[in-house]
Structure 1
Amino acid sequence: TLFRRIQELTLAGQDGDRISATAVAEAESAFGLLEPSLADYATA
């Protein structure tokens, strides 16, 4: 999960800016993979 990834980066000693950039990039990638599958979900 994203939370776990942030923990890993924190424990690895990454600084806040690096953690933020990595988390944003990975979250965008994950949602980018989901979006095509869910684009028409629950629409009338």
Structure 2
Amino acid sequence: MIIAAHLSRDEGHTERLARRRAALDTIGAIEATYASGHGA
């Protein structure tokens, strides 16, 4: 039981990290597009 709870918690943590990384990639792409579009 304890092991299963630990595994599910790790899965949630990994999912959060993946979601944050995807969000950062999206923000980075938007910033790059904005910067190139405005000659910054």
Q: TM-score, normalised by structure 1?
A: 0.48
Give the unaligned 5+ runs of structure 1.
1-12
Q: Greater helix percent: which structure?
A: 2
Alignment of 1:3-42 (within 5 A): 15-38=16-39
Q: TM-score, normalised by structure 2?
A: 0.52
Amino-acid identity (%):
7
Aligned residue in 1 for 2:6: none
Count of aligned pairs between the two proteins: 27
Distance 2:37 2:26 in 1: 18
Give the unaligned 5+ runs of structure 2.
1-12
Calculate the aligned-residue CA RMSD, in Å. 2.3
Aligned residue in 1 for 2:10: none
Bigger RCO of structures 1 and 2 (CA < 8 A, at least 6 apart): 1
